[in-house]
Amino acid sequence: MTVVALPLALGGCGLGSSIAGIHDAPAEQSGGASVTSGTATKVAERVVGDAAEVSRAKADSAARRKVLSGPALREIEAAAVSKDSAGRTSAETEGLEVLAVSRGTDWPRAVLATSRTGDVQHLHVLVAEKADRPYTLFADVPMAAGASVPALPAVDEGAPVKLSSAPSQDVATAATSWGKAVAFPAPKKAPQDVSVADGFSTALKKNARATNKDLGDLADYTQRQAIADGETVSFELADGGAITFVPMTRTDTIRATDKLKELKIEQQALKHVLDASTVKRALSVKHAETLALVTPAEGKARVVGASEVVESAAGS
């Protein structure tokens, strides 16, 4: 019997050593931001707190949809089904600070904020789609160890923001390249337009290699990434380029060879979704992911934060 531990936990993802673009908010002025820095901070504190409550409590889907949207809602809905607690928002946050606010008075509007939970720095995206709708938590991702967010326009000046049903072409290209770069087996020719030196990407690649080594000749293992259907939000950076929050799907697949008699599952979320603790021939696990992807005006794209939960699984 072989015990399988898929690379579900993100090893090595802790508090970044620095976050560029975090600075004291300037005095309020009649600039181009959709809301003042003070108002944005109050809204962020309320929304992040409310999101933590509906994420941790036994709330129903209707309650979650009042507070969450976009990738954050997708992950929490998936966690509610799979009982994967790894992706749930913590209520214990410290040092919440607004990094950017959408520019202008049109709708939708967005806020980018950061806070700390223990030794992990998080990025939060809040979105209000219409004047008569409150802000919701659109994305909530822990930053990769050592990662930093490039400088953003001053909060009270506002930043150009784009909420769209799919990523722009340059972001889609970067996300697709990243998916190929962290895939297992690794591609013969690694993409050159994206860096995978961050803690999240490094952990994915390391854990995939370890899983494949543990399986040996008992099974074939693959890991694939793809852009998921769903909205994205992009904040323009001070020097051009953008930081975009992109929904992704990661799929881990194990196919047994004739040498494997049984596959024992240790991950509690997988046991719950499968309603089984073993499979004999094959296992496919899908994870709902959110990437905080920086596409600079010059240089390689890179991931500065990411979150994931078990979304579904099938075994035979």
What whole-number distance in Å separates Cα of residue 126 and Cα of residue 113? Answer: 8
Contacts 24+ apart (CB under 8 A), 186-192: 192/300
Please tell me the total count of domains within the chain. 1
**Per residue of the chain (316 residues), what is the pLDDT tens digit?**
333 434 433 222 322 333 333 333 333 334 466 777 778 888 888 988 888 877 765 667 788 888 999 999 999 888 887 777 665 555 567 888 999 999 988 888 999 999 988 888 999 999 998 888 889 999 999 998 888 899 999 998 899 999 999 999 999 999 999 999 999 999 889 899 999 999 999 999 999 999 888 888 888 999 999 999 999 999 999 999 999 999 999 999 988 888 877 778 778 877 787 777 787 788 889 999 999 999 999 999 999 999 998 898 887 8
Q: Give residue 272's domain range.
A: 2-315
pTM of the model: 0.87
Q: In what order do the strands lie in the sheet with 263-265?
A: 2-4, 263-265, 278-279
Residue 92: what pLDDT?
66
Residue 86: what pLDDT?
60
Tally helices (H) and strands (E) across the chain.
6, 13
What is the Cα 135 distance to its own chain's centre? Answer: 19
| Beta partners for residue 235, in sequence order | 161, 243
Instruction: Give the burial class of 296: count Cβ atoms within 10 A of its Cβ; 0-12 exposed, 13-18 middle, 19 or more buried.
Output: middle
